[in-house]
Amino acid sequence: MDIEDLALFGGEPVRKTPISLSKPFITQEEIDNVIEVLRSNWIVQGPRVEEFENNFAEYVGTEYAIAVSSGSAALHLALLSIGVKPNTEVLIPDITCISVPNAVSYVGAFPRFVDVNMNTYNISLEALERNISNKTSAVIPIHLYGHPASLDEILDLSNKYGFFVIEDCAQAHGAEYKGKKVGSFGDIGIFSTYATKNMTTGEGGILVTNRREIAKKVRFLRDQDKSSNIPILAYNYKITDIEAAIGLAQLNKLDKLNAQRISNAMLLSSHLKDIDGVKIPFISNYVKHVFHRYTLFFEPQRFKGSRDELASALEAEGIKNGILYTPPAHRYPYYHKKYNFNDKQFENADLISKSILSIPVHPNLEKQDLIDIVNATKKVTMQYCK
């Protein structure tokens, strides 16, 4: 096979109908739930939101769950509810969605980025402890791509240094750390239910906690209309019963959808593990990885082209893909200009962000789709390897 055989250069693509990177799994159950809400004439926040919250709290294993308009809103309210003050520091892994440092900035705190682990891409424990100071008010470990962070060690550091822990579970619905659901370990856990996530309400988010005082404050902060008689600046971060109706149906099938993601990931790994220069996703022994994303690492020295060229070639073969996240957070233009970070502190994150590529793993994939993903990936890497 020659380079001209790649679809990018005029060859026949593996797939003529592209395979999407993400696709929500919607069935008649979601449709029926929404119709029921519409017919009830109660479409704003109401009984279905409360039911969704109760069911989600039970699923995660926390006392409380509060549904809000987005994962970003959940994170913002989490920081407010624990009293993160201006000019304190919140430690965040450098491989992250921009919504995380933005939420920290909303409350006037400093988002201190921390380098990441080369295997899991989650926050590096060594770098985390190096960055803790007397200004550290909270740490936000992100369970990236559905692989839980090292929670025992992070909680030990929390107890030692006295900071809050907010678990970012936006990509990790149903993931487990040592047999227990993520979101139930820290002071607070936050989830996103955006359309691409392991379960969806379209737009939305959920905050979970075992602390009554936090749950009570978040409920006031979520609904500015209920805060008119108390001295607090609140927001309009509610969701509707329509969204909650979708969420209830999604929660019912979450374990089944995660099982399909895991099965798809295992099939991909079994065929891609021996490609020279390509690292398949790492899985720690003590976790349940729920594969929000299936992310490959392309060793730069083993390929003639850049990761971006590989991504373009794979898309030309009919396999949609994603680069999450690049640049690393310390290089986001707003934060780099404002804080002028020392790039040498983020060597792992810089390398990872230039080398990772996510390919489809969602539960809508058929076996032939998975075979085509494997064949296209092999076709592209064969032509670009040195």
Q: Which of 197, 217, 238, 288 is catalytic?
A: 197
Q: How far apart are CA 250 and CA 25, in angstroms?
A: 8
Closest CA to 147 of 107, 80, 93, 101: 93
CB-based contact 303:337 (threshold 8 Å):
no
Quote the CA–CA distance of 194 and 191 in Å, as a whole number. Answer: 9
Using DSSP, state whether 23 is helix, strand or coil: coil
Phi, psi dihedrals of residue 90, rounded to the nearest 5°: -120, 125
Name the maximum alpha-carbon separation found in the chain: 73
**What span, in angstroms and rounded, lies between the C-alpha atoms of 280 and 190?**
27
Other beta carbons within 10 Å of 353: 22
Q: What residue type is assigned to position 166 of the chain?
A: I
Question: What residues are paired with 142 via a beta bridge?
Answer: 168
CA gap 160, 141 in Å, rounded: 17
DSSP 280: P
Residue 213: count of CB within 10 angstroms of its CB: 10
Q: Is 108 left (phi over 0), alpha (psi -120 to 50) or beta?
A: left
> Can you name the residues that pair with 114 across neighbouring β-strands?
93
Q: 234-238: which pairs have CB atoms within 8 A and are 24 or more residues apart? A: 235/73, 235/76, 235/77, 236/69, 237/68, 237/69, 237/70, 237/73, 237/76, 237/77, 238/44, 238/45, 238/49, 238/68, 238/69
Query: Which residue shows structure tokens 């920290």?
Result: 104
197 is catalytic: yes
Q: Which residues are catalytic?
A: 197
